Amino acid sequence: MKRLLLPLLLLPFLMQAQGWDDVQIKSNKVASNIYYLEGRGGNIGVLVGTDGVLLIDDQFAVLSEKIMNAVKEITDAPITYIINTHYHGDHTGGNENFKKEDVEIMAHKNVRARLAITFEDEIRGVTQKAKPESFWPTMDIPFNEIGLKLYDEEFDIVHVPSTHTDGDMIVHFKKANVIHTGDAFVRYGFPFIDVAAGGSIDGFIAAQEKILSLADANTKIIPGHGGMSSIDDVNELLTMLKEAKDIIESEKTSGVALEDLIPKNPLKEYHDRWNGSFITTDLFVQLVYESL
- Among residues of the chain, what percentage have pLDDT more than 70? 94
Three-state helix/strand/coil letters over 100-153 = CCCCEEEEEHHHHHHHHCCEEECCCCEEECCCCHHHCCCEEECCCEEEEEECCE
Confidence check: pLDDT of 62 > 80: yes
Confidence check: pLDDT of 2 > 70: no
For the chain, the domains span: 23-241
Whether pTM > 0.85 for this model: the answer is yes
Tens digits of residue pLDDT in 143-169: 788 899 888 899 999 999 999 999 999
> How high is the pLDDT of residue 9?
42
According to DSSP, residue 275 is labeled -
- Segment 210-220 shows an average pLDDT of 98
Helix (H) or strand (E) holding 156: strand 153-159
Q: How far apart are CA 114 and CA 244, in angstroms?
A: 28
Burial 128-158, CB ≥16 within 10 A → b, else e: beebeeebbbbeebeeeeeeeeebebebbbb
Q: How far apart are CA 145 and CA 90, in angstroms?
A: 24
Helix (H) or strand (E) holding 185: none
Q: How far apart are CA 28 and CA 63, in angstroms?
A: 17
> How high is the pLDDT of residue 122?
87
Sign of the four-CA dihedral 58, 138, 12, 168: negative
Tens digits of residue pLDDT in 69-118: 999 999 999 999 999 999 999 999 999 999 999 999 999 999 999 999 99
CATH architecture of 23-241: 4-Layer Sandwich (3.60)
- Segment 19-43 shows an average pLDDT of 96
- Bridge partners (DSSP) of residue 290 are none
Confidence check: pLDDT of 13 > 60: no
Asked whether the beta carbons of 70 and 37 are under 8 A apart, the reply is yes
Residues in the chain: 292
Q: Compute CA distances 116 → 49, 99, 102, 197, whole Å.
A: 32, 16, 21, 13
